């Protein structure tokens, strides 16, 4: 769902559905049943479809029988966190991804399914707009823009992880089978769709109040910059800079002066936040029997110390994604980001069960706190209220600084870089260089799913992502490892059809 308050809309709808779907309902025609062509003809019902299109944003942390929190699935392939768990067989596909040896039969599959579910729901919304009676032009354009930006966001997940994938913008397909495109072709389709959504001029720079959590113009701009910067599309990089400058000049966003507050509940949707995926523990209904129920996330449970004791604050975790010692050591003394990023469990007086690849440091940004799932009414694992931070204003500033430094337009790149740098180091400054911008991103976004993609797009992955001295990563990243193998079940299901999938090199 798209925000803590807006989730209640879907909760009511899903509760009603649960009541209706009894054994009797399965055998007797429901008196209020109607074809979807008749149902999606009113503005409230179109709004329900749009809410449903946001819903898959929440799913990847635990759905389809896998743990796929996107920030962690990205960062385990980089150089700042380990995989952890009980041993190398615990979430084994994570360990295989970390060592660039994922297999079609043992790889990340849940995110593939969740993202394509999101695409399908966005396509539904775009179709239903034409069915809806009496829809104002303003509402129609806003709904279209939100659905198209969301669709681009889901495809961005699919494109970055798998590259050569099926792409469709209509659900009028036989068994959802369609043509598989090369990664560059997928990029062209995603960016064209996103440009079309932006051109509608239907989204505000920033939503407020109960609408926080919807995709905004600023979010669309950040998505645009992420995609074209990852592609290194020189024809569009000047436009990406223009968009960053427009966000900056809008005056609607600013850095949270307290870096440590960003990832606390009180730091959700501050002026630094451009887009978050919302979770809630209040009456959280999510359970292992209803993983798509309205509620929280399992991410804190995954990444926190196992069986901690020593205070009444920290909740149990499973010891995944321990922060590397080198990550803790990269911060200068006095850098506020070190404590906010790296939770020093022994230093805090916590005893715990040390698991595989333990360093004593855990990702403090999403650490499991008892207060953050206290108001659940279902599974305690699945109902932590930590919103997932996707785009922050700090990234806007660093994007803009990088694009200026690389020569894609003008602007005060040094000031933008040092606004981020000085926030965490009491106003300190650094020289305006690409290396310092890279370093600032390395320090700023640990655990936020940025580092791996940065290394790939900068051309630094092959020299940075190499075997480590611990014997955990034994392979070196190479261009042939850029894309994960397509899940074998998807390959098998397409055999004998008009569009058989071709497996990626891996």
Burial class (CB in 10 A: 0-12, 13-18, 19+), 101: middle
- Among candidates 403, 397, 386, 406, which has minimal Cα distance to 444? 397
CB 155 within 8 A of CB 167: yes
How many C-beta atoms surround the C-beta of residue 489 within 10 A? Answer: 13
User: In this model, does residue 481 exceed pLDDT 70?
Assistant: yes
Provide the percentage of residues in the chain whose pLDDT is more than 90.
91
Reported as a single tens digit per residue, the pLDDT across 337-353 is 999 999 999 999 999 99
Q: How confident is the model at residue 463 (pLDDT cuts 50, 70, 90)?
A: very high
Q: How confident is the model at residue 32 (pLDDT cuts 50, 70, 90)?
A: low
pLDDT score for 174: 72
Q: What is the pLDDT of residue 29?
A: 44
Average pLDDT, integer, range 320-330: 98
pLDDT tier at 173 (50, 70, 90 boundaries)?
A: confident
Closest CA to 468 of 338, 323, 324: 324
Tokens representing 387 are 């919103």
Q: Is 203 helix (H, G, I), strand (E, B) or coil?
A: coil
Alpha helices in 373-470 (DSSP H): 393-405, 413-424, 434-444, 451-458, 461-464
d(CA 390, CA 86): 28
Residue 220, burial from CB neighbour count under 10 angstroms (0-12, 13-18, 19+): buried
**Per-residue model confidence (pLDDT) at position 5:** 37
- The pLDDT value recorded for residue 133 is 94
* Mean pLDDT to the nearest integer, 418-439: 98
> For a pLDDT cut of 70, what percent of the chain falls above it?
93
Over the chain, what is the mean pLDDT? 93
Residue 84's DSSP bridge partners are 320
Residue in the block written with tokens 């390959």: 491
In sequence order, what are the residues at sequence separation of 6 or more whose Cβ sits closer than 8 angstroms to the Cβ of residue 469? Answer: none
State residue 177's pLDDT score: 83
Q: Is the pLDDT of residue 126 over 80?
A: yes
10-24, 269-283, 376-390: which range is least confident on average?
Answer: 10-24
Number of Cβ within a 10 Å radius of residue 63: 19
247-289 confidence digits (pLDDT tens): 999 999 999 999 999 999 999 999 999 999 999 999 999 999 9
C-alpha angle 127/6/313, rounded to 5°? 135
Please state, in angstroms and as integers, the Cα–Cα distance from residue 311 to each residue in 319, 348, 445, following that order: 18, 9, 28
- In this model, does residue 41 exceed pLDDT 90? yes
Binning pLDDT at 50, 70 and 90, where does residue 9 land? Answer: very low
Strands 273-277 vs 388-392: parallel, antiparallel or unpaired: antiparallel
Q: Is the pLDDT of residue 12 over 80?
A: no
pLDDT at 21: 30
Q: What is the pLDDT of residue 419?
A: 98
Asked whether the predicted pLDDT for residue 211 surpasses 50, the reply is yes
Least confident of 25-39, 88-102, 354-368, 395-409: 25-39
pLDDT for residue 20: 29
Question: Is the per-residue pLDDT at 355 higher than 60?
Answer: yes
Alpha helices in 130-182 (DSSP H): 137-162
Characterise 170 by phi-psi region: left (phi > 0), alpha (psi -120 to 50), beta (else). beta
Asked whether residue 125 carries a pLDDT value surpassing 80, the answer given is yes
Averaged pLDDT, 359-364 = 98
Q: Is the pLDDT of residue 22 over 60?
A: no
User: Can you list the pairs that 211-215 forms with residues at least 24 positions away whose Cβ atoms lie under 8 Å?
Assistant: 211/3, 211/6, 212/3, 212/269, 213/1, 213/2, 213/3, 213/4, 213/6, 213/54, 213/276, 213/278, 214/2, 214/3, 214/54, 214/146, 215/145, 215/146, 215/149, 215/150, 215/153, 215/275
In this prediction, residue 221 carries a pLDDT of 99
Beta bridge partners of 66: 63
Q: How many CB atoms lie within 10 A of CB 400?
A: 27
**Angle subtended at Cα 352 by Cα 449 and Cα 470, rounded to the nearest 5 degrees:** 55
pLDDT at 386: 98
């Amino acid at each position: 769902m798209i925000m803590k308050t807006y989730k209640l809309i879907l909760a009511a709808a899903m509760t009603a559905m649960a009541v209706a779907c009894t054994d009797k309902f399965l055998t007797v025609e429901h008196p209020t049943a109607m074809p979807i062509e008749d149902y999606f003809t009113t503005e409230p019902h179109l709004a329900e479809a749009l809410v449903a299109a946001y819903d898959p944003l929440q799913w990847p942390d635990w759905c389809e029988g896998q743990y796929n929190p996107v920030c962690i699935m990205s960062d385990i392939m980089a150089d700042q966190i380990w995989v952890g768990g009980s041993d190398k067989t615990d979430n084994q596909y994570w360990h295989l991804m970390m060592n660039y040896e994922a297999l079609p039969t043992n790889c990340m599959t849940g995110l593939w399914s969740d993202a394509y579910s999101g695409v399908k729901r966005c396509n539904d919304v775009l179709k239903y707009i034409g069915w809806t009676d009496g829809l104002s032009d303003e509402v129609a354009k806003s709904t279209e823009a939100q659905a198209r930006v969301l669709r681009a966001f889901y495809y961005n997940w699919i494109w970055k992880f798998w590259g050569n994938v099926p792409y469709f913008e209509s659900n009028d397909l036989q068994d959802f089978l369609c043509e598989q495109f090369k990664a560059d072709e997928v990029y062209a389709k995603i960016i064209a769709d996103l440009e079309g959504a932006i051109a509608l001029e239907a989204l505000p720079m920033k939503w407020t109040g109960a609408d926080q959590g919807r995709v905004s113009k600023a979010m669309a701009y950040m998505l645009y910059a992420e995609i074209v910067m990852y592609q290194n599309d020189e024809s569009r990089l000047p436009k990406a800079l223009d968009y960053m400058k427009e966000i900056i000049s809008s005056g609607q966003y600013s850095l949270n002066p307290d870096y440590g507050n960003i990832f606390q509940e009180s730091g959700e949707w501050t002026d630094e936040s451009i887009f978050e995926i919302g979770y809630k523990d209040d009456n959280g209904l999510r359970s292992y029997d209803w993983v798509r129920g309205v509620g929280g996330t399992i991410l804190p449970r995954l990444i926190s110390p196992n069986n901690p004791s020593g205070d009444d604050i920290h909740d149990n975790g499973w010891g995944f994604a321990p922060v590397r010692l080198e990550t803790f050591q990269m911060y200068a003394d006095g850098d506020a980001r070190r404590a906010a990023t790296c939770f020093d469990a022994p230093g805090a007086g916590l005893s715990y069960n040390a698991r595989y690849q333990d360093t004593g440091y855990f990702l403090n940004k999403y650490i499991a706190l008892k207060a953050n799932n206290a108001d659940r009414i279902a599974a305690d694992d699945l109902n932590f209220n930590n919103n997932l931070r996707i785009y922050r204003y700090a990234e806007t500033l660093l994007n803009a600084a990088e694009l200026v430094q690389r020569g894609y337009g003008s602007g005060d790149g040094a000031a933008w870089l040092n606004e981020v740098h000085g926030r965490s180091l009491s106003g300190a400054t650094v020289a305006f260089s690409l290396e310092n911008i890279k370093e600032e991103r390395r320090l700023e976004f640990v655990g936020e799913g940025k580092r791996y993609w940065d290394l790939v797009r900068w051309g630094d992955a092959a020299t940075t992502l190499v075997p480590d001295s611990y014997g955990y990563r034994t392979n070196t990243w190479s261009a042939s490892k850029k894309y994960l193998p397509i899940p074998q079940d998807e390959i098998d299901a397409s055999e004998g059809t008009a569009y058989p999938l071709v497996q990626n090199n891996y």
